[in-house]
Amino acid sequence: MDAFKTLKSRQEAEIIVKKSRFIGIAFPCDSVELFEKEVERIQNKYSGARHYCYGYRLIEENIINERYQDDKEPSGTAGLPILEVIRHHDLLQCAVVVVRYFGGTLLGTGGLSRAYSDAARDAINASEVIRQIEALECEIVADYHFSGKLEYFLNSENIPIVDTDYTNHVVYTVVIKKEQYDLLNHQVKNIGSNQIEFYTRRDVSGYFEGKDFIEQ
């Protein structure tokens, strides 16, 4: 997948329902292995809790892998509501764990589902949703007398210049969306009458924040 929505950072939110504490922890995650390590850290941090329920949506070989866990709550009252909140926000490469400290009062299936949903939603809302893309880091090599035109073009197209190196030529390192490559290659070479070189350096993954590209 070339683009998807995910979470920018790990965030927590807590609600109290009839003396039970529900602590939602939402975090970006790109593998089951990393997810399991985070769950272990959460269990250590919130030791003594009655339940550690979760849902996640990960991308594995371009296929969406969804899982949820009720952790001894009645079937369908915890993990599935958490997963439904993630689906509702159309998020991938992220997970939500909701920790419950039992307060002594039974909530019923409807009350449990609402509490787990609310804790998951509050944790996601506490984080920032970003649009992550698969991009290309490219290098543009130009003579100095093309630099003004080239910089004007890159700025007008909102293409972030990651680095500029001044040697015998001006070398710009830029990040572009993969689907932009062919068109930009053609446009850049036209600016320099085919005297500007346009190279692909590597694949990168991250998100745009204004005119900056934040690699993740």
Per-residue pLDDT of 61-118, as tens digits, reads: 889 999 999 999 999 999 999 999 999 999 999 999 999 999 888 899 999 999 999 9
Share of the chain above pLDDT 70, in %: 100
pLDDT above 80: residue 120: yes
Please give the radius of gyration of the chain, using alpha carbons only, rounded to the nearest integer: 23
**Average pLDDT rounded to a whole number, residues 197-203:** 89
pLDDT above 70: residue 139: yes
Joined together, the tokens standing for residue 70 give 């009720």
Helical H runs in the chain? 32-45, 79-88, 108-126, 147-156, 181-191
Contacts by residues 161-168 (CB-CB < 8 Å, ≥ 24 positions apart):
162/137, 162/213
Average pLDDT, the chain: 92
Q: What is the pLDDT at residue 21?
A: 96
Taking only the tens place, the pLDDT of each residue in 181-194 is 889 888 988 888 77
As a whole number of angstroms, the distance between CA 95 and CA 35 comes to: 8
**Average pLDDT rounded to a whole number, residues 156-161:** 87
Q: What is the pTM of this model?
A: 0.82
Q: What is the pLDDT at residue 190?
A: 87
User: Could you tell me the pLDDT band of residue 24, with boundaries at 50, 70 and 90?
Assistant: very high
User: Could you tell me the pLDDT band of residue 1, with boundaries at 50, 70 and 90?
Assistant: low
Query: CATH 3.30.70.240 region(s) of the chain?
Result: 134-215
Q: What is the pLDDT at residue 185?
A: 87
Residues 90 and 69: beta-carbon distance below 8 Å? no
Pick the CATH number of 134-215 from 3.10.350.10, 3.30.360.10, 3.30.70.240, 3.40.50.300: 3.30.70.240
Share of the chain above pLDDT 90, in %: 65
Strand partners, 209: 212
User: Could you tell me the pLDDT band of residue 178, with boundaries at 50, 70 and 90?
Assistant: confident
Q: What CATH architecture does domain 3-127 belong to?
A: 2-Layer Sandwich (3.30)
Query: CATH 3.30.230.30 region(s) of the chain?
Result: 3-127
